[in-house]
Amino acid sequence: MRFRLLIFLSVISFSASAQFPNFNFLKKKHTVLPEMRMAKCRTVKNLVLAPALINPVDVRPYDLGETEFDLVAHERAIMKLVKHNMSWRIYRDASYNFSDLAQVYIKLHRLSEAKWYLLQSNKLSLEENDDKHTITNLVNLALVKNDEGDPVSARADLVEAYDLANARGMKEKAAEINTQIQLLDKNKLASSIKYAEASDIAKKDL
């Protein structure tokens, strides 16, 4: 009995670590890589830059002109201005809006509409005593009427514009209109479309 008790006490006196064997040898070992070297700093100071050789070239912008989409957009924008100025009785500005609309329709080859808006513009410019604008409207009307095959009415508008320019002392303008009358008599008057395009080019040059 004593012998059994001694064996029992000796067994329970073992430490917990001694009760179980160490199984660390079962774990997989990983290889340790060597430490990476730091990259050398290569700054801009160490670089030798050759100067860039650039030959200057004169490049002119290419003008694509106005497309039909652009002209229709202009038409809508100007039409809003016309409605505003007419509703508020700002007739002087509305007169210029009408002539601008006419130029758009000339470029769209819609001459009958262009003629109608030129007539409306001319009516307002006469009421507002805007002689310069009236003369411009009469010249544009003559060009449109000539394109429509009515040189007689076109000549009458040019003569009216010439007389008004003379009466207001606009000698240079009168001489220009007189030249157009002579060209009309020789059947060499420029087309209204070409005239509108030429006026746009002159504005860009200014």
Report pLDDT for 82.
Answer: 95
Tally of residues, the chain: 206
| Angle, helix 131-147 to helix 151-167, in steps of 10 degrees | 160
Q: How far apart are CA 167 and CA 68, in angstroms?
A: 40
Best CATH choice for the domain 68-205 from the list 3.40.1160.10, 3.40.50.920, 3.40.50.720, 1.25.40.10? 1.25.40.10
CA pair distance 153, 157, nearest whole angstrom:
6
The pLDDT of residue 35: 78
d(CA 108, CA 72): 9
d(CA 154, CA 184): 8
What pLDDT shows up at residue 10?
Answer: 63
Distance CA(62)–CA(116), nearest Å, equals 34
pLDDT profile of the chain (206 residues), mean per 10: 63 51 58 74 59 65 73 94 95 96 94 96 97 97 95 96 96 96 90 67 47
| 172: amino acid identity, one letter | E
pTM of the model as a whole: 0.67
Q: How confident is the model at residue 200, as a pLDDT?
A: 60
Please give the Cα distance from 80 to 97 (Å, whole number): 10
The pLDDT of residue 123: 97
Whose CA is closest to 142, among 153, 133, 131, 134? 153
Residue 16: its pLDDT value, please? 44
